[in-house]
Amino acid sequence: MSKNLSELSGRKGLDQILFNKLGEISAKSGTPDQADMKKLAEEYLMGNANIYGAASFYDFTREENKGKKIYICNGSACLCAGTQDTLKDKLEEQFKPEEIGEMCCLGRCHENSAFHYNGLNYSGNAIDYLKAGTIVADKNEDSYHTGNIGTPVVNMPFEDLDVIKDTIAKALFSTREALIEELKISGLRGRGGAGFPIAFKLESCKNTPGDKKFVVCNADEGDPGAYSDRYIMEKKPYTLLVGMIAAGYAIGADAGVVYIRREYPESAHIIIKAVQVLEDAGLLGNNILGSGFNFMFKVVTAQGAYICGEETALLSSIEGQRAEVRTRPPFPTQLGLFNKPTVVNNVETLANILFILQKGGAAYAAIGKGKSTGTKLISLDSHFNKPGVYEADMGVPLREVIDKLGGGFKEPIKALHIGGPLGGLVPAQKIDDLTVDFESFSQNGFLLGHASVICIPQEFPLIKYLEHLFQFSAHESCGKCFPCRLGTQRGYELMHKAIHSDFKVERDLFTDLLDTLERGSLCALGGGLPLPVKNALQYFDDELKQYFN
């Protein structure tokens, strides 16, 4: 049935995406009304249940969102910083409780106290400037530290329009085979967590017959604590867009979709503006620079669903369906958006292509360590003396990142949660054993993932953090497979009951729950959650044993 819905959704093309229409009819009240949904069903030749099913899936189109006026960040970094209860108290002085919603995560992990109001994000002391439904305009702006250890790859300067034009020309006047070969030589692997070589995705899609193909930028990887995607889109938009153009040329696609988190409104504004600049310069559209290559962009604003960080769920979302994970094979490179061959990569991965275009695959491969070539962006939260987004050569000691870039910790820290909610929970004593690369983290029982770093203070109860992880995963589960749908909720209930009563969690039962999640879940949301939980049980048994028997 979903394949048929994909075809129906694709009939109108990228200009009239069903998902965007769903967002438009929800904008006024926070959720669409029945009459508008029925019209959409008729227009797209779908059943009323299909449209309602999609609307009820996303945070910002479902019925519960109706009447919300302001949203509090409930991300892991803000939780550990302990700022949000005070923030909520201040908001309740001006808003009714039913007018206050939640968002996760706003990417303001460097200063916390984050909230979303009137389509913009705020943090730090901005709450003190919100009065009577208005806020000082420039309080939306924020700043954080940036810097490098090693070679600037993503941070390579790339704002001059002549340089952008020359780089695009270099890509379009090479052969597709040569471009993919340079990416093979580079060893560039996906920066979203899986670490899959991008060249193999591109080659697979290029070799799949199809009259229409797409390259999709997954800018909805909303790992709490990670704001490197936001950094690229807002500070390095052309680096991302040119990488997408090159990827599109390599596979024979004439369209790129940038799917941006609703929680990053500023990123969407900047990307849309950058696309317009490229169009005005003749670097998008038909027959770009006389190459015979056609390419255009479509920016899609998400509606709140962490699961859309999974590539197949993201594709279903663009099509206006519930963002449920698809079984594979077939892979998106064979059957993707609107059932057409599609390459999906995250923001940082696509942004790395620029360096390879300019310097070559061998120059990129010379950076890094072993199979982890190139660099990695690392997001440091507010517990560092110099929080921000930094770029480091793969293989750099984690200790150097913490001390030289982050300036060390502001207070005693007992653990670092690295790589998002599904990443490894690294005890402080293991910091000196790790280098920033895929292999080091894997060999030590962790996961580099998005390389976001959330600090868990010495006094923060770890059981409360585990409760938070289960609660987050239960809320964000797409619900398609029962191990994740039920297992995450049961895990939350066990943690919550252990915290708020004298209930003891049965260890064998809990181990079975984690095993079921890990082995039975359809995607990495349920399958990855056990990793940080197991890390916690392994390294913090003395603290946690009072809750287990």
What pLDDT, on a 0 to 100 scale, did the predictor assign at position 318?
96
How many domains would you assign to the chain?
A: 5
The answer to whether residues 383 and 265 belong to one domain is: no
DSSP line for 108-151: -TTT---EEETTEEE-TTGGGGEETTEE-GGGG----EEEEES-
Statement to judge: residues 176 and 232 lie in one domain: yes
- What angle (nearest 5°) sits at the alpha carbon of residue 412, between those of residues 410 and 414? 130
Q: Give the Cα separation of 231 and 42 in Å (integer).
A: 40
Task: Label residues 313-323 b or e (16+ Cβ within 10 Å = b).
Answer: bbbbbbbbbbb
Nearest CA to 198 out of 225, 224, 216, 212 is that of 216
What's 393's domain CATH number? 3.10.20.600
Residue ending a domain, among 412, 431, 457, is 457
**Residue appearing with tokens 């793969």:** 394
CATH number of the domain bearing residue 487: 1.20.1440.230
**298 near 17, Cβ under 8 Å?**
yes
279 part of a folded domain: yes
Residue 205 near residue 213 (C-beta atoms within 8 A): yes
Task: Give the angle subtended at the CA of 405 by the CAs of 402 and 406, to the nearest 5°.
Answer: 55
Partners of residue 380 on adjacent β-strands? 388, 453
375, 361: one domain: no
Single residue among 143, 168, 194 that ends a domain in this structure: 143
Q: Is 377 left (phi over 0), alpha (psi -120 to 50) or beta?
A: beta
Same domain, 137 and 32: no
Q: What pLDDT sits at residue 137?
A: 81
Whether 248 is covered by a domain: the verdict is: yes
Statement to judge: residues 362 and 373 lie in one domain: no
For residue 118 the two structure tokens come to: 């009137």
pLDDT at 234: 97
Whether the CB-CB separation of 186 and 375 falls below 8 Å is answered with no
Q: Is residue 232 part of a domain?
A: yes
φ, ψ for residue 134, nearest 5 deg: -130, 160
* Residue 90 in domain: yes
Q: Are residues 448 and 471 in the same domain?
A: no
C-beta of residue 232 within 8 angstroms of C-beta of residue 205:
no
What is the domain-level CATH number for residue 109? Answer: 3.40.30.10
148 in a domain, yes or no? Answer: no
Same domain, 375 and 234: no
Q: Which secondary structure element, helix H or strand E, spans residue 343, and what is its range? A: strand 342-346
On whether both 300 and 413 belong to a single domain, the answer is no
Instruction: Judge whether 281 lies within some domain.
Output: yes
How far apart (Å, rounded) are the C-alpha atoms in residues 213 and 248?
8
pLDDT recorded at residue 484: 96
Tell how far CA 545 is from the center of its chain. Answer: 34
Instruction: Residue 177: give the domain boundaries.
Output: 155-366
pLDDT value at residue 1: 45
- 246 and 275 part of one domain: yes
Distance between alpha carbon 314 and the CA centroid of its chain, in Å?
Answer: 11
483 SS3 class: helix
Domain finish residue from 48, 65, 82:
65
The answer to the question of residue 103 being in a domain is yes
**Of residues 75, 81, 72, the one with CA closest to residue 456:** 81
What are the Cα distances from residue 326, in Å, to 193, 206, 224, 310, 311? 18, 22, 24, 10, 9
pLDDT at 155: 97
Residue 444 sits in the same domain as residue 377: yes
Q: How far is 448 from 440, CA to CA, in rounded Å?
A: 9
Same domain, 295 and 353: yes
In a shared domain, residues 471 and 402: no
pLDDT reported for residue 407: 98
pTM: 0.96
Residues 6+ apart with CB under 8 A from 530: 514, 515, 517, 518
150 inside domain: no
CA angle 263/266/270 to nearest 5° reads 135
- Secondary-structure percent of the chain, ordered helix, strand, coil, rounded to 5: 50, 15, 35
**Residue among 263, 184, 189 at smallest CA distance from 229:** 263
What three-state secondary structure class fits 191?
coil
pLDDT at position 36, please?
96
Closest CA to 128 of 94, 78, 102: 94
Per residue of the chain (549 residues), give pLDDT as tens.
478 899 999 998 999 999 999 999 999 999 999 999 999 999 999 999 999 999 999 999 999 999 999 999 999 999 999 999 999 999 999 999 999 999 999 999 999 999 999 999 999 999 999 997 799 888 999 999 999 999 999 999 998 999 999 999 999 999 999 999 999 999 999 998 777 899 999 999 999 999 999 999 999 978 999 999 999 999 999 999 999 999 999 999 999 999 999 999 999 999 999 999 999 999 999 999 999 999 999 999 999 999 999 999 999 999 999 999 998 899 999 999 999 999 999 999 999 999 999 999 999 999 999 999 999 999 999 999 999 999 999 999 999 999 999 999 999 999 999 999 999 999 999 999 999 999 999 999 999 999 999 999 999 999 999 999 999 999 999 999 999 999 999 999 999 999 999 999 999 999 999 999 999 999 999 999 999 999 999 999 999 999 999
